[in-house]
Chain A
Amino acid sequence: DGGITQSPKYLFRKEGQNVTLSCEQNLNHDAMYWYRQDPGQGLRLIYYSQIVNDFQKGDIAEGYSVSREKKESFPLTVTSAQKNPTAFYLCASRKTGGRDTQYFGPGTRLTVL
Chain B
Amino acid sequence: GQQLNQSPQSMFIQEGEDVSMNCTSSSIFNTWLWYKQDPGEGPVLLIALYKAGELTSNGRLTAQFGITRKDSFLNISASIPSDVGIYFCAGQLSGGTSYGKLTFGQGTILTVHP
B100 near A44 (CB under 8 angstroms)? no
Q: A42-B107, A48-B101 are in contact. Are A100 and B42 (CB under 8 A)?
A: no
* Chain A interface, DSSP helix/strand/loop, else mixed: strand
Taken together as a complex, chains A and B put the C-alpha atoms of A88 and B37 apart, in Å, by 12
Does A101 reach chain B (CB closer than 8 Å)?
A: yes
A94 near B100 (CB under 8 angstroms)? yes
Question: Which one, B14-22, B43-51, B62-70, B72-80, is touching chain A?
Answer: B43-51
**Least distance between A57 CB and chain B CB atoms (Å):** 11
Residue of B nearest to A60 (CB): B1
Work out how many contacts link A and B, with CB atoms closer than 8 A.
Answer: 66
Number of interface residues of A (CB under 8 A): 29
Name the contact of B31 in the complex, choosing from A6, A45, A90, A100 (C-beta under 8 A). Answer: A100
**Least distance between A28 CB and chain B CB atoms (Å):** 16
Q: Which residues of B contact A31 (CB under 8 A)?
A: 99-100
Q: What mask results when residues 78 to 114 of chain B are scored 1 for a CB within 8 Å of chain A, else 0? A: 0000000000101010100001111011110000000
Residues of A with Cβ closer than 8 Å to B? Answer: 4, 6, 31, 33, 40-45, 48, 50, 56, 58-59, 88, 90, 94, 96, 99-107, 109
Closest 6 CB pairs of A and B: A104-B42, A59-B1, A100-B94, A107-B42, A42-B104, A106-B42
